[in-house]
Copies of this chain bind each other. A is one copy, B any other.
């Protein structure tokens, strides 16, 4: 089963990358953008038989390694 772990900086944590992207989009002429936030996705192929089990595994991996809970939140979804 494939799962996707999405990791974003917590609200309130400054996002230098998002800020830089917002700035660059502005210079390219994309106006009136609100806040831009940048995060990571990790797609994993886990040995699970159903979506529920797969998501549980993805969450365990996010807690163990993929996200740093000091600065980041994560969400996990089953793919296809």
Contacts and interface: CB of A to CB of B under 8 A. Distances in A.
B65 A45 contact: no
Contacts of A32: 46-47
Given A28-B64, A65-B21, A38 B42 contact: yes
B61 A45 contact: no
Contacts of A33: 44-47
A32 to B, nearest CB: 4
A3 B11 CA distance: 17
Interface in A7-25: 8, 18, 21-22, 24-25
A8 B6 CA distance: 12
Contacts of A57: 30
